[in-house]
Amino acid sequence: MFLHLGADTAIPLRNVIAIFDLKISGSAATEQYIKKVKSMNKVIDISDNSAKSFIITDQTVYLSAISSQTLKKRAGHIPVGDEEYGG
């Protein structure tokens, strides 16, 4: 199964580790993480400089113009927070 990230980009769903909202997760730690992976040339920006979400895979981080909620719906059920533990 594949996850369509926008801009004619689809990745194998099995490679997805996490999907995050850039606006909500605008913490210093998130900014530092994105900056670090960019310096390692592991970021692919498919958002045309209007990123709403970022997708962490086993090899790369993608910046997408599609919201994290839409991506999660496309991926099917991905447990969020306590939901994973039945809470």
- State the pLDDT at residue 22: 85
d(CA 14, CA 3): 9
pLDDT-derived band at 76, boundaries 50, 70, 90: confident
Three-state DSSP at 15 gives: helix
Residues 15, 21, 25, CA angle at the centre, nearest 5°?
115
Question: What per-residue confidence (pLDDT) applies to 29?
Answer: 83
Give the helix, strand, coil percentages of the chain, each rounded to 5: 30, 30, 35
Residue 77 has pLDDT above 70, yes or no: no
In this predicted model, what pLDDT tens digit does every residue of 12-67 receive, in sequence order?
999 999 999 887 666 788 888 989 999 999 999 999 989 999 999 999 999 999 99
Q: Is the pTM of this model over 0.85?
A: no
